[in-house]
Structure 1
Amino acid sequence: MVRKLAEGAHLNYEWIDLLDPSEEDLQQVAQQYGLHEASVTDAMQADHIPKYERVKDYTFIILRIYSPDEHNDEADTVKELTNKITIFISQTYIITIHRKEWPVLERISSQLVKKGECKKSAHVLNEIVKAGLLTFDVPGTKLTKHIEHFEEHIFLKDRRSAILKGLYFMKRRVDVLRRVLLLSSDIVENIDPPGSGNAYTRDVRDLYIKQQSLFESLFENTNHLLNIYFNISAHKTNEIIRVLTIFSVFFLPLTFIAGIYGMNFNFMPELKWKQGYPGAMLLMVAVTLSIYAWFKRKKWL
């Protein structure tokens, strides 16, 4: 679907929005505005990473916003977690292309563009990028709560395989969103160049720094939490092996004694002693007490 979100005598630019366009619609718009074939090819790739590129007399931008597949609880790829917004922008036009509906574009059009707040196409781009970065607020908050939940279960409650699975998918989501933000740095750097002093675009840079810092922290905390989980699990396993080893040390000599006197050879003198049985039992008790005393002296118990 092709629609115009900005036009009129009071504007010196037009805004064309393509929602889930067909290849024919895309080629028609590309021909009308002189878009490069390579840019159009990139615009059609659903899993393309964020990009900022100057081509001829326009700028080509690929922005990814957080838009997860709600029917897939294990979504952990760029395509499953984000939606691509392709932007072609010059002084006289701005073209946005996306496969999924994004109501924010209509809100920018009705509340800012049509009321004269966005006097240039660059202002529209600034609002789109800012709105795109804001979409990462919700997953950042959710992932922070998930980390707190897993920390509570790891340190205070039983550790189960479901926790490890949850930690794995959370780490994947954090890593994907962190990489998307990292790859979006070129877009922010060109919208708000260092030292520009433009208060209008400064909000975009500040928001980007905030989101990047949040997801860097989440990434480090998730890795730290996974390491702690494995260390605690390894410690628990070592404790189990330690207890089993102690039991085996106690019973190994007793089994040896029982095996010796269970061979029933005719010429074993102890078999005919009246005190043979209580003697063997006392020997076992003595061995057990000796092992226990040795363990206590070594502080293994």
Structure 2
Amino acid sequence: MTVMIKYKTEQNTLASVNHVDDIPENASFIWYDFDDPTESESHMLLTDFNFNKLEIDDTVNGTPRAKFKAYDTYQYMVFHDLNQPNYSIKALNIFIHDNTLITYHHHEFDIEQQIEYIIQKYNDLKVIDIVLFLLDQLVDQYFDKVHEVEDRVFEFEDHHIEDSANPSFMDKVYRLRSKIIKLQRLIYPMHELVDDLKESPKLLVDDKNHLYIQHIEDHLIKQIHILKQSQEMTNEIRDNNLSYTSFKMNRVMQVLTLVSVIFLPLTLISGIYGMNFENMPELKWHYGYFIVLAVMLLISISCIVYFKKKKWF
């Protein structure tokens, strides 16, 4: 769509320009934002900044994994966020070159107001300070999705056991587990990225940076723990559902088995006397029909009493 170019002067404000040549020499901070750029605009990463061609290919043509790489003249990192509503990954590519910040993304990221805010609020900021602020804001946004999942899990846990046997209820649980997995695919690589940032002497130059990155890592660790707990609880809900479904199925099978056992001798008797052979003296008994019914009733009652005594139902 466009490439936005802004710079900061001693007046501590961001000014916009339309071309690189319009940036004054005394600019203390320069920011290029590539928002879904065209092919020719993307080519600026190679011609104007001389970045690694392989990194540029990843940046332009795909969704790189969350990572950090330090080169002699610049640093390259990739932050991740989620697209709504399908929870797919979108990447924010960041290049740091001296006092220049380059952000490249194919999806919408609300970073312009954040950068303007921190520049107006604080003086003498380095580029890394701005990048860490962006990272902090991005990680904090994860809490909205993580707490939403956590709340849903607790709602499921509060449901009655009979509700958990409802197929639609379990469909919701499995959809929630899918969200948990997608959030883990987002947060775990970001945690690895923060670990790499902590070990970079070129990027974190003072104690303030180290404290800030530790603060960000603490938030990621908390989110990871919440997701693990939520996943364990959904596992328990799933296992409880399977156990309860098996229990109900066993009860049904038990009743059907008892009914079958009761009717088995009755079926045998009715089958024998339903053959209609001529040499069957019982067929000519005057009270034969009632005697057989009485025998069948006695057998049924005896089976029921026996099963009850054995506590089979």
- Work out whether the TM-score is over 0.5: yes
What SS does the corresponding residue of 1:136 show, helix, strand or coil?
helix
> 1:231: how far off?
2.1
Partner of 2:76: 60
In the alignment, residue 93 of structure 1 is paired with which amino acid?
T
What SS does the corresponding residue of 2:48 show, helix, strand or coil?
helix
Q: In structure 2, how many angstroms separate the alpha carbons of the residues matched to 1:155 and 1:91? A: 60
In the alignment, residue 86 of structure 1 is paired with which amino acid?
N
Mind listing any 5+ residue stretches in structure 2 that lack a counterpart? 13-26, 201-205
Q: In structure 1, how many angstroms separate the alpha carbons of the residues matched to 2:160 and 2:73? A: 56
Q: Check 1:243–1:287 CA distance in 2 against 1; reply closer, same or farther (3 A cut).
A: same
What SS does the corresponding residue of 1:16 show, helix, strand or coil?
strand
Residues 70-104 of structure 1: per-residue CA shift (max 9 Å, x gap)? xxxxx3xxxx433211111233222111122222x
> 1:126: how far off?
0.7
What SS does the corresponding residue of 1:299 show, helix, strand or coil?
coil
Q: In structure 2, how many angstroms separate the alpha carbons of the residues matched to 1:50 and 1:154? A: 41
Partner of 2:182: 176
> 1:6: how far off?
4.2
In the alignment, residue 255 of structure 1 is paired with which amino acid?
T
Alignment check: 8 A CA contact 1:47 1:84 kept: yes
What SS does the corresponding residue of 1:135 show, helix, strand or coil?
helix
Q: In structure 2, how many angstroms separate the alpha carbons of the residues matched to 1:187 and 1:31? A: 28
Q: In structure 2, how many angstroms separate the alpha carbons of the residues matched to 1:4 and 1:235? A: 66
Alignment check: 8 A CA contact 2:68 2:193 kept: yes
Alignment check: 8 A CA contact 1:6 1:114 kept: no
In the alignment, residue 281 of structure 2 is paired with which amino acid?
P
After TM superposition, the structure 1 stretch with the greater mean CA deviation from structure 2, 273-282 or 109-118, is 109-118
Residues 241-277 of structure 1: per-residue CA shift (max 9 Å, x gap)? 2221221111121111111111111111111112211
Residues 120-168 of structure 1: per-residue CA shift (max 9 Å, x gap)? 1111111111111112111112212222333344625373332232222
Alignment check: 8 A CA contact 2:45 2:56 kept: no
Q: In structure 2, how many angstroms separate the alpha carbons of the residues matched to 1:292 and 1:49? A: 67
Query: 44, 49, 53: which one pairs with 2:60?
Result: 44
Q: Check 1:8–1:168 CA distance in 2 against 1; reply closer, same or farther (3 A cut).
A: same
Query: 98, 103, 115: which one pairs with 1:96?
Result: 103
Mind listing any 5+ residue stretches in structure 1 that lack a counterpart? 70-74
Aligned length: 290
Q: Scaled by the length of structure 2, what TM-score is found? A: 0.84
Q: In structure 1, how many angstroms separate the alpha carbons of the residues matched to 2:293 and 2:54? A: 89
Q: In structure 2, how many angstroms separate the alpha carbons of the residues matched to 1:288 and 1:156? A: 33
What SS does the corresponding residue of 1:35 show, helix, strand or coil?
coil
Partner of 2:284: 272
Query: 76, 89, 95: which one pairs with 1:82?
Result: 89
> 1:200: how far off?
2.8
Q: In structure 1, how many angstroms separate the alpha carbons of the residues matched to 2:6 and 2:52? A: 23
Q: In structure 2, how many angstroms separate the alpha carbons of the residues matched to 1:179 and 1:290? A: 63
Partner of 2:301: 289
Instruction: Flag the structure with more relative contact order, 1 or 2, with Cα contacts below 8 A and sequence separation at least 6.
Output: 1
Partner of 1:72: none
What SS does the corresponding residue of 1:65 show, helix, strand or coil?
strand
In the alignment, residue 92 of structure 2 is paired with which amino acid?
I
Alignment check: 8 A CA contact 1:6 1:113 kept: no
In the alignment, residue 293 of structure 1 is paired with which amino acid?
V
Alignment check: 8 A CA contact 1:57 1:90 kept: yes
Is residue 2:38 matched to residue 1:22? yes
> 1:178: how far off?
0.8
Alignment check: 8 A CA contact 2:164 2:241 kept: no
